Structure 1
Amino acid sequence: MSTAAPQTTQDGLLARVALRFTAFTERWLPDAFGFVLVGTFVIFALGLATGVPLLGAPADVKATTGFGLVNAWGKGFWSLIEFTMQMAMIIIGGYAVAVSAPVARLITWLARLPKTPRGAITFVAAMAMVTAYLNWAFSLVFTAILAKEIARLVRGVDYRALGAMAFLGLGTVWAQGLSGSAALQVTSETSSPKAVQDVIAAGRGSGTIPLTETIFLWQGMLATLIIFVIAVVTAWFLAPSGDRAKTAEDMGITLKPIAREKSDLSEVAAASGGKRRPGDWLEHSPLFSILIFLLGAWYLVTYFAAAKGNPLNALNLNTVNLILILLAAILHWRPVRLIAAVREGTPAASGVLLQFPFYGGIFGMIAFTGLTKTIAGWMVNASNQFLFPAFVAVYSCVLGIFVPSGGSKWVIEAPYVLDAANQLQVNQGWMVVVYDLSEASANLLQPFWMLPTLAILGLKAKDIMGFTFAMFLACFPATVVVVTLLAQTLPFP
């Protein structure tokens, strides 16, 4: 067991800042559900302070404004029900893919690539961001298992730093990737509330924004690449070395090899011992997993082929979820294994299922009462066309600490952020990119989305938040500068 060597003054200062920050969050910040409860009455009080009536509803049943606070809360409470289901399925589908046997074999191979502690920590950081770009829920599970296997194989690697870097994708590039909630939401009329569509239409004539004008803008991809490079370099310099490293063994954590796929012998024995019902046979046969995969793949090929313009614009939350389910079905091979993986991953979606309706209530009080115009007016007065992206980046990051959900928080922010963007003539698609990169940074400062990673690694938030806080200090200022400068290259709308 290693002993800690004396640290330099710089290391000591960084450690003290990180520990004090962690101590503050553990002592004062409530659970994520507590934030949404407090946020509900903060917006309620803001509405009253700005003259919004307590009760009232317009005569037109199709109206999206003119409601009193109570009526608006009730109208908005279930307005995100489809989006809630979509986000829950992303978590469950991503988890099911990550725990399949073929992915476990891939992790075993990848874990043998890094040879040094510093290289291992940097490698995990890069893998976390690459996988989060593909799917954030998959990344949380996949990279945590990868970090655990690397910690078993690479001697002297700091287990806390590995844990922090395993989470890094959620704190940097995930929202600019293929499962980014805000970008996928504004591409679809079914996922985006009508109040948000109305604001978008006011600036561009259409109530949706295609992916080619958000995450697939060359400016958006360049900004994402810059943050990726900065995070990888920072991970290299953050890695503790020598006696300063604290291994899993030092922390009393026992690491075991990744569990191999269970043998089919027990299933064969059970089958030979008696006659199975047809339903039992279906659950244990790969036949229908293959057929479902082929059916879904056939549909996706025709779906993307029929898309107008760039096929990438047809990508939305529904197609992402379908892809995840099809991958999980074929990777688990037998339906019984897929059922078990989904059952195991479902508890991770409980926070979404409980909290998103309350976020919908907050959205209702902002969008259906006229508060949208009021807050947008404040933003316009406090900023200008050049500084607006930086202003929104800082605001979105701060709000993200208290509302740890990129998708539901976007619904809350979108009406007044996009309204202000229209007034200042700032590109709407770029504001989605600004939101994506800055909102993700907030995840480095609060532990809500760290929970799946921490559970797999056997760590606590206080063990890794010193490293994530240091990563925030490197990445967020760069984000603010990048989104401000690149905004000048885009036209309105």
Structure 2
Amino acid sequence: MLASIADRLSRLVQRYLPDAFVIAVLLTLLVFGIGIFLKPAEPLSLVKSFGDGFWVYLTFTMQMVLLLLTGMVLASVPFVKKGLQQLAKWADTPTKAYVYTFCLSGAAYYINWGLAVVVGAILVREIGRRNQNVHFPLLVAAAYSPTALYTAGLSSSIGLTVATNDHFLADLMGVIPTSETIFSPSTIIIFLVLFVTMPVIICLMAPKGQVTPYEEKITQKVKVPTSEEATPASWLEKTPILGVVTGLIGMIYVIHEFIVGRDLDLNIINLLFLSLGLIFHGSLRSFGEAFKEAAGSTSPIILQFPFYAGIIAVLTSSGLGESIIKGMTSIANKETFDIFTYWTAGIVNLLAPSGGGQWALQGPLQVPAGMNLGVEPSTIAMAVGWGDAWTNLIQPFWALPILSIVGLHIRHIMGYCFILAVWVGFVTTILMLFLY
């Protein structure tokens, strides 16, 4: 029954859901329209907010581009590719493929969401190549769906923020240790229940008949002369010495940062992947060619991330975000505040898909309202975090990296992600009623 529903919904979504870039533009216009309605005398201020905020994500955009490129380049190293192929061998049936992909991707998300983006995408590509009986859009959804769990992981932006000394709400809520947020019994229970049940839902959605297998993207590889005159220039391009030495410098830095206690962040992951790629590719020419071949898949990120930065700026300056938050929390009491906070965060995340950015918008309004009702600050923080992660399943922003690597559009996986979002929302709501 669920397979039939998923198939119909997937067909409906593929027919009517536009490209992710069109969605970003439509959300931009929607936020502008509502913002002008809320502040009819200040349309120019919204335009200014959009323009000022449009480039705020430049650093993050480049980090994500490098994450994909360095991860794909590292995956193209012969022995790494063989290792991934060996891992993919375990997924020799469709059911194994879906569960295996979800579990490995989920484990990666728990360690670091940036690492999981590359791990999940490269894994499904290798499994898709080897197993033509797998419904590839559902397999990609299985790799992406653990994004709903990341707030319970080691890279939880909200959990780590409130545990940091002198964070921007420290005077109001104090410093909240991770033992009360990402490592609390309530968080662990919600994580484990979702981790066990989500792959079951994924398997139940699997088509019973014809499937859509993985199709290798045709790429225009750079032609390299097989023979050329031995010159100092060609020697510099082909020698492994330069790449190895440069890569070792990067690795020494990464190891030093870990020794002194630095957390695993995007910059460290990117430098780690870049350094390993330089070491293992054997020459700067080989490394550069792999980079060129991978570069085309990053264009959706470069194009769309600035639009979401602009949306968040307009959402904040127009008062729309504040109206949504205040409207939802005004009807809550002490027993239901965490649930309304969760739902509110899910709605806000559809317009402002950024855990840190959302906490900056929602925290100053949500925390004092909840504390006035007697709700623990740690509960408020995790409710926002779970809500932010929940609707990542149906927000194209975070799906762009994995879709860029595997060559699919958001419409190919959104039908399955929508069903998973319904399940995650239902289960988390019920658990929060009893646990918080």
Q: 2:8 aligned with 1:31, yes or no?
A: no
The match for 1:363 is: 312
Taking every aligned residue pair, what percent have the same amino acid on both sides? Answer: 26
- Kindly indicate whether the alpha-carbon contact (under 8 Å) linking 1:53 and 1:69 is maintained by their aligned counterparts in 2: no
The match for 1:203 is: 172
- Kindly indicate whether the alpha-carbon contact (under 8 Å) linking 2:121 and 2:402 is maintained by their aligned counterparts in 1: yes
Q: Determine helix, strand or coil for the equivalent of 2:107.
A: helix
> Which of 271, 292, 312 in structure 2 is aligned with 1:343?
292
1:182-261 equivalent positions in 2, closer than 5 A = 198=168, 200-201=169-170, 203-204=172-173, 215=182, 219-239=186-206, 244-246=208-210
- Kindly indicate whether the alpha-carbon contact (under 8 Å) linking 1:131 and 1:138 is maintained by their aligned counterparts in 2: no
Residues 335 and 24 of structure 1: CA distance in aligned 2, closer, same or farther (over 3 Å)? same
Deviations 1:367-412 (A, max 9, x none): 3466565444323313344433333433444555566xx43x7525
Query: 2 CA distance for matches of 1:113 and 1:306?
Result: 37
The match for 1:92 is: 69
Deviations 1:14-48 (A, max 9, x none): 51464145414631x33333333333343334334
Residues 468 and 99 of structure 1: CA distance in aligned 2, closer, same or farther (over 3 Å)? farther
- Kindly indicate whether the alpha-carbon contact (under 8 Å) linking 1:119 and 1:236 is maintained by their aligned counterparts in 2: no
1:73-112 equivalent positions in 2, closer than 5 A = 73-112=50-89
The match for 1:173 is: 149
> Which of 285, 293, 298 in structure 1 is aligned with 2:252?
298
When the two chains are superposed, the root-mean-square deviation of aligned CA atoms in Å is 4.2
The match for 2:230 is: 274
Query: 2 CA distance for matches of 1:369 and 1:447?
Result: 23
Residues 381 and 443 of structure 1: CA distance in aligned 2, closer, same or farther (over 3 Å)? closer
Deviation at 1:138, TM superposition (A): 0.6
Between Structure 1 and Structure 2, the one with more helix by share is 2
- Kindly indicate whether the alpha-carbon contact (under 8 Å) linking 1:185 and 1:317 is maintained by their aligned counterparts in 2: no
Query: 1 CA distance for matches of 2:40 and 2:179?
Result: 38
Query: 1 CA distance for matches of 2:60 and 2:416?
Result: 32
Deviation at 1:420, TM superposition (A): 1.4
Instruction: Give unmatched runs, 5+ long, in structure 1.
Output: 1-9, 57-67, 190-196, 257-265, 489-493
The match for 1:285 is: 239
Deviation at 1:356, TM superposition (A): 2.7
Deviation at 1:148, TM superposition (A): 1.4
Deviation at 1:451, TM superposition (A): 6.5
Deviations 1:224-250 (A, max 9, x none): 33322222333454456xxx34356xx
Residues 289 and 385 of structure 1: CA distance in aligned 2, closer, same or farther (over 3 Å)? farther
> Which of 20, 35, 44 in structure 1 is aligned with 2:32?
44
Q: One-letter code of the match for 2:302?
A: L
Deviation at 1:105, TM superposition (A): 1.0
- Kindly indicate whether the alpha-carbon contact (under 8 Å) linking 2:4 and 2:205 is maintained by their aligned counterparts in 1: no
Q: 2:369 aligned with 1:423, yes or no?
A: yes
Q: One-letter code of the match for 1:19?
A: R
Query: 2 CA distance for matches of 1:74 and 1:334?
Result: 42
Residues 179 and 148 of structure 1: CA distance in aligned 2, closer, same or farther (over 3 Å)? farther
- Kindly indicate whether the alpha-carbon contact (under 8 Å) linking 1:84 and 1:353 is maintained by their aligned counterparts in 2: yes
Query: 1 CA distance for matches of 2:152 and 2:70?
Result: 19
Deviations 1:431-464 (A, max 9, x none): 5654554444445446676677667767776665
Q: 2:15 aligned with 1:15, yes or no?
A: no
- Kindly indicate whether the alpha-carbon contact (under 8 Å) linking 2:394 and 2:418 is maintained by their aligned counterparts in 1: yes
- Kindly indicate whether the alpha-carbon contact (under 8 Å) linking 1:76 and 1:361 is maintained by their aligned counterparts in 2: yes
Residues 91 and 468 of structure 1: CA distance in aligned 2, closer, same or farther (over 3 Å)? same
Query: 2 CA distance for matches of 1:456 and 1:349?
Result: 8
Deviation at 1:52, TM superposition (A): 7.0
Instruction: Give unmatched runs, 5+ long, in structure 2.
Output: 218-223
Residues 255 and 374 of structure 1: CA distance in aligned 2, closer, same or farther (over 3 Å)? closer
The match for 2:221 is: none
The match for 1:147 is: 127
- Kindly indicate whether the alpha-carbon contact (under 8 Å) linking 1:132 and 1:138 is maintained by their aligned counterparts in 2: no
- Kindly indicate whether the alpha-carbon contact (under 8 Å) linking 1:18 and 1:470 is maintained by their aligned counterparts in 2: no
Deviations 1:92-151 (A, max 9, x none): 333333333333111221233245443333223322323444423213422222321441
Q: One-letter code of the match for 1:88?
A: V
**Number of residue equivalences:** 426
* TM-score (norm. length: structure 1): 0.69
Q: One-letter code of the match for 1:129?
A: G
Query: 1 CA distance for matches of 2:194 and 2:255?
Result: 33
Residues 149 and 75 of structure 1: CA distance in aligned 2, closer, same or farther (over 3 Å)? closer
